[in-house]
A and B are shown apart, each in its own frame.
Chain A
Amino acid sequence: MMVSEATGMSKLHMAIFAVLLAFLVALPFFVYPVFAMKVMCFALFAAAFNLLLGFGGLLSFGHAAYFGGASYVAAHAAKVWGLTPELAVLCGTAAAAVLGLVIGSLAIRRQGIYFAMVTLAFAQMIYFLALQLPFTGGEDGLQSVPRGRLFGIFSLQDSLPLYFFVLAVTLGGILFLYRVVHSPFGQVLKAIRENEPRAISLGYDVNRYKLMVFVLSATFAGLAGAVKSQVFQLASLTDVHWSMSGEVVLMALLGGMGTIFGPLVGAAIVVSMQNYFATFGAWVTVMQGVIFVLGVLLFREGLIGVLSRWLKRPL
């Protein structure tokens, strides 16, 4: 596979990203922009989660804490502190990074299912805080967050300018995650995932790498949550609920964990289902369950994972 020296990207991946960009630029003229923005936020969330699971080999069951935690902080920053959208998003993202550092440094001491349980336990604490703290609005969450002006200049009141802001941030985040996977650091990460004792015997402090990938993953999950709060002008308990942690696992597995484009496809499928099947009410979760079971049974490597095996190309 030829990899460009400047971008570190193979020609195929560059072409896919170019098509994706063109598609996303045209998208708001065909579908409801808020829906498209929701998909993009979740695509970034799933990609961040996949960095940890697919490339770090660590299954976190508490990623709602970073996604939701950041959305609360960003909403609060925009609504109460009156910050501009980009600063509010930055505050939320930074909060997620700090949270990831604290939780991650405790969680990586355990492995496998214990690691997952520790992350879940902490995420439940964050949920409790979101419910009980005075500034979070309890059951109501933080509502009617103003959209404000980007850099204090460009109004994001209309959905089209907002759409392009969201597109730039989420696609930028996804490209950054791509770079992390294809960096010297990413290479070591894959080595640790493949054979941890061997990586240790080569002299790598594996816990430092695990903590770093954990923080990176939490940070970008936070970025996704922070942007989402600006789009929906809302931070709610749904974002920090454990079922959100489960949903992102679903997205990554359905699309194909450890692939580049799988989580994006997985996120698009899950969000579309929730959106277009909304009329079926509570049956959405049942349908989601059936699709997930079928997906796991038929495509164990996920949709993009299977496609990648057929084409014999990493996707």
Chain B
Amino acid sequence: MSVMLEARGLTKEFKGFVAVNRVDLRVEKGSIHALIGPNGAGKTTCFNLLTKFLQPTSGTITYDGRDITRLAPAEIARLGLVRSFQISAVFPELSVLQNVRVALQRKRGESYDFWRSEAFLRRYDDEARHHINEVGLSDFTDHRAAELSYGRKRALEIAATLALDPDMLLLDEPMAGMAQADVERISALIRRVAVNRTILMVEHNLSVVANLSDRITVLARGEILAEGDYATVSKNPDVIDAYIGAGHA
């Protein structure tokens, strides 16, 4: 299998504090890869480095054979590497339909047209409805996004992300703060979305990603502690130690 996203010697220092220290990460094409670790392990920093929301102090990142270390976050999104956010990222005052249309209209490139009527965007309605239907929100198409429940906002975010038809998704704690029923729904959705795509997700708990990921990388104190499938990682004494040491089983 070929490598989709690769980080080499990825390091981020904040005024003398090393948050991420020489991390090497390889995400294989078509796999679901999880990056886990206890609080303060540097997961979020690592995630922000990979999505270019932060610049690394040193190290390189390649995506699909291309060096993206110096690119802007919007540029990598246009290359097909799209991220999600921990707090559900929707446009609250826009309707569900408009939320998805904003994603669709970016690809077509008439988004700078300030002289054109908004009615022009209706050509994307059918495609937008298709994506909304996919995540089970068709009853809410004309609702404002702000009115949706937490789980539904997450689903809407995924619909908008899928509208971009990305090759790779980076998910930032997709299950954070979710009820069990929602966790199962989103897990199923992620599995469905993963077909023909590569996914890297950051999670806090090992158990959540157990049945979902092909490969797990455990991060602790900014460094890689262990890597492998769930069976290997969950039995690793260092991993157990790191989680118990940080107060989590």
Residues of A at under 8 Å CB distance from B?
Answer: 3-8, 179-180, 182-188, 190-191, 194-195, 197-206, 208-209, 212, 216
Binds A, one of B33-41, B105-113, B131-139: B105-113
Tell me the complex Cα distance, A183–B110, Å.
Answer: 10
Give B101's nearest chain A residue, CB to CB. A187
Contact across chains for A184 and B118 when beta carbons are under 8 A apart: yes
For residue B111, which residues in chain A have a CB less than 8 angstroms away from its CB?
A: 184-185, 187-188, 204
Interface size class of B (residues with CB under 8 A): 35 or more
Is B216 on the interface with A (CB-CB < 8 A)? no
Contact across chains for A203 and B164 when beta carbons are under 8 A apart: yes
Q: Which of A4, A180, A191 is close to B94, meaning CB atoms less than 8 Å apart?
A: A191
For residue A8, which residues in chain B have a CB less than 8 angstroms away from its CB?
A: 117-119
- Known interface pairs A184-B121, A194-B92. Does A200 touch B113 (Cβ–Cβ under 8 Å)? no
For residue A199, which residues in chain B have a CB less than 8 angstroms away from its CB?
A: 102
> At the interface, is chain A mostly helix, strand, loop or mixed?
helix
For residue A205, which residues in chain B have a CB less than 8 angstroms away from its CB?
A: 72, 74
For residue A194, which residues in chain B have a CB less than 8 angstroms away from its CB?
A: 91-94
Chain B window 74-113, contacts with chain A (Cβ cutoff 8 Å), 1 for yes, 0 for no: 1101100011110001111110001001110111001111
Tell me the complex Cα distance, A58–B103, Å.
Answer: 22
Q: Which of B91, B105, B112, B116 is close to A195, meaning CB atoms less than 8 Å apart?
A: B91
Residues of B at under 8 Å CB distance from A?
Answer: 51, 53, 72-75, 77-78, 82-85, 89-94, 98, 101-103, 105-107, 110-121, 160, 164
For residue A6, which residues in chain B have a CB less than 8 angstroms away from its CB?
A: 117
Tell me the complex Cα distance, A194–B157, Å.
Answer: 14
Contact across chains for A187 and B102 when beta carbons are under 8 A apart: yes
For residue A190, which residues in chain B have a CB less than 8 angstroms away from its CB?
A: 91, 93-94
Contact across chains for B53 and A202 when beta carbons are under 8 A apart: no
For residue A180, which residues in chain B have a CB less than 8 angstroms away from its CB?
A: 114-115
- Known interface pairs A180-B114, A195-B89, A201-B77. Does A188 touch B105 (Cβ–Cβ under 8 Å)? yes
A selection of 22 A-B contacts at a CB cut-off of 8 Å is A3-B118, A3-B119, A4-B119, A180-B115, A182-B117, A182-B118, A183-B116, A184-B120, A187-B101, A187-B105, A187-B118, A188-B102, A188-B106, A191-B102, A195-B89, A195-B90, A198-B85, A201-B73, A202-B164, A203-B82, A204-B74, A206-B74
Tell me the complex Cα distance, A199–B225, Å.
Answer: 34
- Known interface pairs A195-B89, A198-B85, A201-B85. Does A179 touch B94 (Cβ–Cβ under 8 Å)? no
For residue B90, which residues in chain A have a CB less than 8 angstroms away from its CB?
A: 195, 198
B175 → A minimal CB distance (Å):
19
Given A4-B119, A179-B115, A212-B114, 5 other A-B residues pairs in contact with their CB atoms under 8 A: A185-B113, A187-B105, A198-B85, A199-B102, A203-B78
